[in-house]
Structure 1
């Protein structure tokens, strides 16, 4: 089908002139935004129009595109309302459950914008703008772009899995206005160069679609710091409208998202999480339970495509092997596997009728398989949001499917590893701020830039990479210290493929690079910083020349040693008091996050162990209680009216002999939290450097309560003169 085969089909075609973007004297689009001065009469008219409504021309356009371009006969539930609002010029928050059709809410408008422009008589060929989709999932980007291409929609993705030629082609299409949609990860918005290229798109950004939008909210179950910067980008890039999409948003999270993008309440489109074809079961297990044998019985009773969720990568490998030994068609899946193996596993699962994937949370997002018959939570998920999202992958074809939750005290050890492991110590936070606010950087002024390696800094401060990212986002957004300005590489090397192009390049930059390079056996190494200093040529010009060679395939280029660039918004703190104040505030924030994660675990436990319907409890959690009965009739509570009881297996008190052994083996006394993590079994960069796992005491006290261990080791550090105050600050 050609692009011109999409057409309007309203009963009164003259109404097409009333589409939302009307002509302005300056030639720019003017969008109809919600008026703050809406009269009572107009509100009453809107209410009455629900009874005798004339289809909006944009609704007609959306339905025609749905049928002709996506081969679907009609929208489901709130899809049409959300899409019409976007085409009318407003922004929206879409909260649909997994499999609820969120992607159509931005794909249909992305195709429609050009037809809106044509109906207004604008000469906009190549200048109808683009829909920018922010998504953290490379697999989703790839699958959606491929599907859109099959439907004749111009789309591309910019991500790390692309080849050089694919990336360059996508950039060229973007610059020349040939794309309807462009997908990228939120981290790409840290690049000033990329943001600049987006601002120069012919026609601008017509729609910004933010997938997995719950990541924006610090109250969300999978907060990602780079998501906080999207709202700022939307304002700076003057995007026309925004649609935020998520499968899981409590009322508080939904409010956070709406506030971030100034989406009014009427812009919220929510459909129920309730799925009548899902049977929600739960069983409690003691430490003596043979978990694998129990799982095998369940899998034989409920055959068909199945996902078994576990918490850690090693657990996925081990359990999949055990199931294979029992004759099941089982495969592991986790983020630590090689990309080709993960892709092969996913592709085989999509067409299989009996495959079992034992997976971490890395599996399932963006996978469109309608006939998953069973979801098993072998380990406890981190929140009700995660649980709801994962069970939502079952039975999308509407046929009966079973979701089993195995509850055991072992789950709390794994959950505590993540909860307590993500919080850095006071020592780590102080080292971080002292490094950022070094004497040399304290001399910098607003507008100056500095570079550093977050990897190296994480190793030196004993802070995990994910947590370091959150801390930097807080310093950028809450304290206004600096802004991420992209990345550069400290080491470049290349291998010449077309010597005639390289050696015939007479530019000054080319001459400097060739003369200053060091040839090894295969690769030629370039010290760009040294060349820039000695030659007087700006580093950016040297980089541009090397990239130019790479783009014309004259060389094969490799970049190493990532350095993050930050641009100061104001001078950095320079006094010990100023630095300590920020350390304290960061620690308070990390403490709040720790408490929040503990509360999520307790809420998840309550869902399973309370004397009430599972489906009703989920609905209450997400604030959608008006349409659901008190009992669903197809969960463990409704079927048995027997409470699932967690086994009485409390943690053991710290053994003084084991405490002494830890202190004898580990001489550190400046960080009680570090010692508690060693005893409990929580890894950190500092432990890796000190080879603590080989000490014989790592994980030696994993049956204890972490906070009790922290108390014991805090006392030991204070007694031995280490001066740790972790427990004093935050116990109770």
Structure 2
């Protein structure tokens, strides 16, 4: 249940943030999508002079803050566009300097305002950065702080109470230039209100990993679909969308979502890098390929990343390489943060370390001399492959990107592709649960409250998939809207001022808290719902007061237990036929996405098994080509051998009836054929986890067979 509230821990998740932060809710609301640029009314000659001075300010910031002498790729054009008040979409390769495209404007907005004499001190607003990875956001803020730039912060659940309160204060005082948040925070009604009235306004909304917006993208996230709506609601002056992996179709989706003119606002540079050698070899099994991996690493020393699919593979392969005399370490998302940080720092310092990792490693790693990137398992897509090999050779020197493929990989990729699609019956069940008889009795504006964690278990739907279902109900069918998730349990530790504050405060919320706060062994507990009923006041009044006490340090608030809240915005479906139609529509989209995931695996295989230059095929996937209309790069496996890499697949097996019967005996229920197939194929789901099937011999007993439902 974490994803919908993972960055909302200290009060901003429940209650009215606008009042908590003492924001001016009576400020005038603008009607247009984009605030008027302060430069719109200037005469052409004066505008040209200001444009030149603005660019000079940007170049000075680049030199003084980042130690760089000149912009590269199309950074200058992007920054000029943004400083002129227009929006932009940026498609630069991994390591292409996308972050400077919003960091530089954020740093110079105040100087530009002074130049044009249009705003007072502390009124230059904030640049809001939406990014999907907390670790990446932290890396960027830490890097800015190391460069002496202190006007940046991350608002997420890892912050201590004191850190959180400091960010709130700096935001209120107009001291922040850059604020990083996860896309899930945009569901928070209070945060939306806060951003509508933040001091100086949101000067720039930067959307990192913007390919997540597109349903045709390889890493689609439903919460990203809401970013464009958020931009309109907060009246962001301009938007910049950034990605390294956008096909022409995905780039078009991004521009359409934010009303960016593709002809003048889309900036993309070539994906081709002449110093990267794309290599591939095939084998029947990973055991057969392992000696080749060792030989490759021996012949090509230097900092290297070996990508595998599963967490346990990182540990096993790193241990094997260590036994062979290599300096190797494993890295995956399941490790403690402190351990991951130590490994990353070690890799940045040394020039002889091999990191065996899942895709969790690499985001934010800007090490110029990575000599090798090895894919020991097949990547999920050409987009992922492009992003991962892009971490090699940023110093311009020759670097090798080796891809080992075998039949075993296909099973792993199919597990990932098949794992997210629930049965149609499960989808109908959860939609029926959302629009039950209680929901039917609610008026427009009424609230539906559900535990997605419980629904996931009850209907055997993974958390990300369940979020997709809710997103479709919200964005495609217009039935509901996600709002601030609620905590079901409020506990606190009182400070020295608690007793005097709560007894002297005669507001209804404070009176309710004083009456209902009960001390257990260590913590005090407040039944917020019971208190609201008893004193006939809104629940939010009590939550707001708890947040107020927390902010003033009278208590240390510790909310827990998440209920997701959705407002009804249109009359809900009332008949089984309507429910069936919605179910059919949503399930068809999910089936299509599963097929697209399988197609992406096929595209990855076709890249290295086809009879064409790897580098050119990859470039053409992104709407690009080789320089000077060349047909071959001259240094990939195809160009050097002109022999196709043959994928080796084990011969077909006779159907294992004994294993099939064992699965049926272990799972007597016949309500979901897809669930049986998942168990046989070894694909985890909430239901199999609840039944503790993961370690049972039947789990995955047919994983060498075709997945058929």
Q: TM-score, normalised by structure 2?
A: 0.90
Secondary structure of 1:440 counterpart: helix
- Which runs of 5 or more residues in structure 2 are unaligned? 1-34
Decide which of 52, 56, 60 is 2:56's aligned counterpart. Answer: 60
1:633 CA displacement: 1.5
Partner of 1:237: 234
- Contact 1:175–1:197 (8 Å) recurs in 2: no
> Quick one: distance in 1 between partners of 2:650 and 2:566?
49
Alpha-carbon distance in 1 for matches of 2:569, 2:695? 45
Query: Is 1:646 matched up with 2:647?
Result: yes
Match of 1:619 in 2: 619
Q: How does 1:482-521 map to 2 (within 5 A)?
A: 482-498=480-496, 501=499, 505-508=503-506, 509-521=509-521
Q: Which residue of 1 aligns with 2:334?
A: 336
* Cα 1:325–1:519 shift into 2, 3 Å: farther
CA–CA distance in 2 between the matches of 1:148 and 1:342?
Answer: 21
SS where residue 220 of structure 1 aligns? coil
Counterpart of 2:350 in structure 1 is: 352
**Higher mean C-alpha deviation, range 239-248 or range 344-353:** 344-353
The equivalent of 2:144 in structure 1 is 148
Q: Distance in 2 between matches of 1:167 and 1:374?
A: 40
* Aligned-pair CA distance for 1:32: 6.6
Q: CA deviation at 1:247?
A: 0.5
Alpha-carbon distance between aligned partners in 2 of 1:79 and 1:543, rounded to the nearest angstrom:
45
Q: 1:575 to 1:214 in 2, by over 3 A?
A: same
Unmatched runs of 5 consecutive residues or more in structure 1: 1-27, 35-41, 43-52, 711-732
CA RMSD, Structure 1 to Structure 2 (Å): 2.2
Contact 1:379/1:406 (<8 A) preserved = yes
- 8 Å CA contact 2:183–2:227 kept in 1: the answer is yes
Q: What secondary structure is seen at the aligned counterpart in 2 of 1:140?
A: helix
Equivalent-residue separation in structure 1 for 2:171 and 2:223 (angstroms): 23
Deviations 1:401-420 (A, max 9, x none): 11110101111111111111
CA offset digits 1:646-675 (Å, max 9, x no partner):
013255353233222221221111111011
**Whole-angstrom distance in 2 between the partners of 1:59 and 1:347:** 35
- Tell me whether 1:699 sits opposite 2:700 in the alignment: yes
Matched, 1:124 2:125: no
TM-fit CA distance, 1:146: 2.4
- Residue 288 to residue 531, structure 1, CA distance change in 2 (3 Å): closer
Distance 1:242 1:500, change over 3 A: closer
The 2-side partners of 1:100 and 1:288 are apart by 34
Distance in 2, Cα, partners of 1:491 & 1:395:
51
Aligned to 1:107: 103
Give the superposition deviation at 1:315: 1.6
**1:539-569 Cα shifts (integer Å, max 9, x gaps):** 2222223223332333333221111111111
CA contact (8 A) 2:125 2:199 kept: yes
Q: Structure 1 residues 314-323 or 81-90, which shifts more?
A: 314-323
Following superposition, the deviation at residue 694 of structure 1 comes to 4.8
Q: Which residue of 2 aligns with 1:728?
A: none
Q: Which has the higher contact order (CA 8 A, sep 6+)?
A: 2
Alpha carbons 1:305, 1:355 under 8 Å: kept = yes
Alpha-carbon distance in structure 2 between the residues aligned to 1:502 and 1:630? 79
Residue-by-residue CA offset, 1:680-725 (whole Å, 9 max, x unaligned): 1101111122222354311110001102xx1xxxxxxxxxxxxxxx
Q: Which residue of structure 1 lines up, in the alignment, with residue 418 of structure 2?
A: 420
Q: Give the TM-score of the pair, scaled to structure 1.
A: 0.87
Asked if structure 2 preserves the Cα contact closer than 8 Å seen for 1:58 and 1:88, the reply is no
Which residue of the other structure, out of 65, 68, 78, is the alignment partner of 1:82?
A: 78
1:277 aligns with 2:278: no
CA–CA separation in structure 2 for the residues paired with 1:507 and 1:73: 58
Shift of residue 529, structure 1, vs aligned partner: 1.4
1:337-382: CA deviation from partner (whole Å, max 9, x where unpaired): 1222112211221112122211111111112111111111011110
1:389 aligns with 2:387: yes
- Cα distance in 2 for partners of 1:504, 1:225 equals 42
Offset at 1:531? 2.1
Aligned residue pair count: 665
Are 1:573 and 2:570 counterparts? no
Q: CA deviation at 1:534?
A: 2.1
Q: 1:692 aligns to what SS in structure 2?
A: coil
Q: 1:653 to 1:218 in 2, by over 3 A?
A: farther
Q: Deviations over 1:166-213 (max 9, x none)?
A: 122112211221121111111110100011111111221111110000
Does the 8 Å contact 2:192/2:233 carry over to 1?
no
Q: Is the 8 A contact 2:85 2:238 kept in 1?
A: yes
